[in-house]
Structure 1
Amino acid sequence: MMQVPQRLYSLDELRLNGIEASSLLSPVDATLGSIERNLQLAAALGGLAAWNVLGFNPQQVLYFSLGLLFLWTLDSVSFDGGVGSLVLDTIGHTFSQKYHNRVVQHEAGHFLIAYLVGILPKGYTLTSLEALKKEGSLNVQAGTAFVDFEFVEEVNAGKVSATTLNRFSCIALAGVAAEYLLYGIAEGGLADINKLDMLLKSLAFTQKKADSQVRWSVLNTVLLLRRHELARAKLAEAMSMGKSVGTCIGIIEETIDDSDIQLQLG
């Protein structure tokens, strides 16, 4: 399958292909944001109710508030906000089907694009709780893991080939691209975009060169996902059921043509 020619695409050219970059590259998780605000409101109201019912004096309320502030600071410093993220993510998956579906589609995008460009997925998690159980760390977020030894070696050496960079860029943006295609806007994936941005900066890319890499990757990834919409949908369904990596790969291979597997980039 032919790839998109690699050059600097303007934002207007992306729009001609039905892509509004701002809706894809600036994700804001409105669902978790709303849950967090509601929790803060509930905590404040609960505190006031406890004050009235239990007769707490102002000093006791102050100590309680300081205790909560200490726990929040401890989480931020020691676990990089992992406890708070775990709580929000768990509530999101439990009470918001919209949030759960977004996460599934997001990870299916990563999984599918990785396989298409020749990077083998080795595992995936859809919730922070699942990631905690598998990895035993609060600092590990839900996501898709890959067999990416070559990429890690090149990054450590400070020399990333064009082919490797193209693959990484497309995989990194696949989650937000999948969300954009399905919902018109991406909410998750800010960490993915930040990782790509950090990589490009570490390679001393100019802003123009970085824009060129990102816009090409967005266009290439969106077109791939559009072409393989059926495979992505079946893959997302399998991942939502917790199917094994092998089963998920089998679904991809059964759904798309052999000529489309291991697309050569660069």
Structure 2
Amino acid sequence: MEEEVPQRLYSLDELKLNGIDTSSLLSPVDGTLGSIERNLQLAAVSGGVAAWNVFDFNPQQIFYLSLALLFLWTLDSVSFNGGIGSLVIDTIGHTFSQKYHNRVIQHEAGHFLIAYLVGILPKAYTLSSLEALKKEGSLNLQAGTAFVDFEFLEEVNTGKVSATTLNRFSCIALAGVATEYLLYGYAEGGLDDINKLDVILRGLGFTQKKADSQVRWSVLLLRRHEGARAKIAEAMTMGKSVGSCIEIIEDTIDESDI
């Protein structure tokens, strides 16, 4: 597919002139899940104090209870890489925070759209850790979009990644945070995407400037096809298939504009 925006490195000044603050995209902090985690910790402490007063636990019982909780936390961290804790927090986020739920959907819709536009076929998507657990049977998966990316993986394994392939991967990786930036003015999700991209770029000898420059391309593509992304997000909300989401793109965007 033809590139719609010229591919070259952009300076930070050029990005700012286009209204793009890379610091708002490339250093996302998930305030919603962070707040939920802090509240759960406070609730646990408050519950422990209340139980102590109600059941009149002695110091030895409190010690054993604390030891049991520490064991469970360590088990989750070591055996499941924190998967159980992440599953609980993510599920609470989707259940009680409509903003968080909507943000995740918009984020994944951005990945889906950009992948298709740059010629990488999406093959599956999930919108929560619980959904990923049901579909993949893994505790260490979060919301995400999977792609048919054999060519990219093959190039990475050989250590020789073409400029075209790297540009495609970079734009897909940054599409989620770019979507959040356009909708909310900042990004909360996508830290894992950025970390993966950072590992690839550093492994290939690129600097942060490369990632910064790719932000502009992702943002401009998303701005240009905002209508298609919104329709994909709506379809994902209804649990539509990958094929249905692709059909939306093809029906919404003129072939000559891809």
Amino acid in the other structure paired with 2:255 = D
Q: Give the drift of 1:55.
A: 1.0
The match for 1:220 is 217
The match for 1:239 is 236
Amino acid in the other structure paired with 2:31 = A
Q: Is the 8 A contact 1:128 1:141 kept in 2?
A: yes
DSSP 3-state at the match of 1:7 = coil
DSSP 3-state at the match of 2:145 = strand
Amino acid in the other structure paired with 2:61 = Q
DSSP 3-state at the match of 1:239 = helix
1:29-84 per-residue CA deviation (whole Å, 9 max, x = no partner) reads 00000011111111100000001111111111111111111111111111111111
Q: Give the drift of 1:6.
A: 3.0
> Separation in 2 of the partners of 1:35 and 1:146?
31
DSSP 3-state at the match of 1:113 = helix
Amino acid in the other structure paired with 1:177 = A
DSSP 3-state at the match of 1:122 = strand
Residue 226 of structure 2 corresponds to residue 229 of structure 1: yes
The match for 2:20 is 19
> Separation in 1 of the partners of 2:257 and 2:69?
53
DSSP 3-state at the match of 1:6 = coil
Amino acid in the other structure paired with 1:153 = E
The match for 1:135 is 136
State TM-score, norm by structure 1: 0.94
The match for 1:148 is 149
Matches of residues 108-127 of structure 1 in structure 2 within 5 Å?
A: 108-127=109-128
Amino acid in the other structure paired with 1:220 = W
> Separation in 2 of the partners of 1:105 and 1:53?
45
> Separation in 2 of the partners of 1:128 and 1:61?
33
Q: Is the 8 A contact 2:7 2:217 kept in 1?
A: no
Residue 37 of structure 2 corresponds to residue 36 of structure 1: yes
Amino acid in the other structure paired with 1:251 = I
Matches of residues 194-213 of structure 1 in structure 2 within 5 Å?
A: 194-205=195-206, 207=207, 210-211=208-209, 213=210
Q: Is the 8 A contact 2:11 2:213 kept in 1?
A: no
Matches of residues 54-69 of structure 1 in structure 2 within 5 Å?
A: 54-69=55-70
Q: Is the 8 A contact 1:231 1:255 kept in 2?
A: yes
> Separation in 2 of the partners of 1:10 and 1:160?
23
DSSP 3-state at the match of 1:141 = coil
The match for 1:107 is 108
Aligned length: 257
> Separation in 1 of the partners of 2:97 and 2:255?
37
The match for 1:72 is 73
The match for 1:166 is 167
Amino acid in the other structure paired with 1:248 = C
Residue 33 of structure 2 corresponds to residue 9 of structure 1: no
Identical aligned pairs, as a percentage? 80
State TM-score, norm by structure 2: 0.97
1:114-136 per-residue CA deviation (whole Å, 9 max, x = no partner) reads 00000000000000000001111
Q: Give the drift of 1:2.
A: 4.9
Q: Is the 8 A contact 1:170 1:220 kept in 2?
A: yes
Amino acid in the other structure paired with 1:129 = L
The match for 2:249 is 252
The match for 1:264 is none
1:159-213 per-residue CA deviation (whole Å, 9 max, x = no partner) reads 11111100000000000000000000000000000000000111122x3xx41x2
Q: Give the drift of 1:25.
A: 0.7
Q: Is the 8 A contact 1:4 1:216 kept in 2?
A: no
Q: Is the 8 A contact 1:86 1:128 kept in 2?
A: yes
> Separation in 2 of the partners of 1:102 and 1:164?
28
RMSD of aligned alpha carbons:
1.1
DSSP 3-state at the match of 2:141 = coil
> Separation in 2 of the partners of 1:148 and 1:51?
54
